[in-house]
Amino acid sequence: MAKIGVIGAGSWGIALAVLLHNNGHEVTVWSALRDEIDMLIKEKEHKQKLPGVKLPEDMIFEYDLEKTIADKNILVMAVPSVFVRSTAKSMSAFVSKDQIIVNVAKGIEESTLMTLSQVIEEEVPQAIVTVLSGPSHAEEVGRGIPTTIVVGAEDKKVAEYIQNAFMSNVFRVYISPDVLGIELGAALKNVVALAAGAADGLGYGDNTKAALITRGIAEIARLGTAMGGKFETFCGLSGIGDLIVTCASMHSRNRRAGILIGQGKTMEEAMEEVQMVVEGVYSAKAAMALAKKYNVSMPIVEQVNEVLFNGKKASDAVMDLMLRDKKIENSDTLWS
């Protein structure tokens, strides 16, 4: 049994807290919102973000960040990407040397173009930072629906330790040393999911969705490998796997926001209606900046930025994608 602190009590934090508790660990959940902790203690359920998932009576809910961190074997970082740096900064004074942090948030910091594990490492340099990602909606993990994910860590023994802590008969865990590739796949798929949702909102069909998923992973892999990620990672759970589930499911807040944008709502209106953090909006500008920095073509990401921030109609963005210059599908496959 491990002692685990879950930093963040949103849907994903709560779902993982339930999973880890069911695996026999002692779990403490912290939130920056005092009212949220009050509600969890009283209701034993997050009725707004994860309704129907009952929380164990012996799960610990904590107002104090220091108490949540102290003496824990593992800290699960489950705050929205926009709050990762500020939360990590608050944690730093309490984290001991070589304490393990598992980042489960997905995104790229717009101001620095850093991945979230890089942000945490900068703010909490004494910690061992790992990542967990893959096709895993909180709504399903919380209900014990079979799910498969990947853990990334630079040290294999650390990866195996995290694997053992999270693994169960409904939660299969693979391990990988490609932390960068895992994080890039996790962040960039949210941008493509906005495009897929917009296509749904415009009334397009399965052909369009398949095209966006396929060409979307091509863009993600181009940028990811240019930055040093491994191509195989983008063919795996945190690449094509996470992209499929995020583009196809109504659990996906990015897809839901995209649908609203396709129906004519502004980015701000869509985010307000979804009432959850739409990570793809925050990652879109960073993805475009990285594409320019590494001289990588990302036409879908470019059009998403045009729609989100420059007032372009989603229908015009799709038409511009369709009418781009003729291309060969794979530059590695040429005629002799």
Measure the CA dihedral 35/37/43/44, to 10°. 160
Q: Are 165 and 130 in contact (CB under 8 A)?
A: no
**Kind of pairing between the strands at 100-103 and 50-54:** unpaired
| 102/255 Cα distance (integer angstroms) | 26
Name the nearest CA neighbour of 268 among 256, 284, 287, 281.
281
Q: Which two tokens stand for residue 275?
A: 């009432």
Q: Which two tokens stand for residue 163?
A: 């694997």
Residue in the structure block whose two tokens are 């963040």? 8
Name the nearest CA neighbour of 257 among 226, 240, 236, 278.
278
Catalytic pick among 49, 72, 106, 189: 189
Phi, psi dihedral angles at 71 (to 5 degrees): 65, 15
Residues 6+ apart with CB under 8 A from 175: 150, 151, 152, 153, 156, 159, 160, 162, 163
Name the nearest CA neighbour of 159 among 183, 129, 117, 138.
129
Q: Quick check: is 189 catalytic? A: yes
| 81/77 Cα distance (integer angstroms) | 10
Residues with a known catalytic role: 189
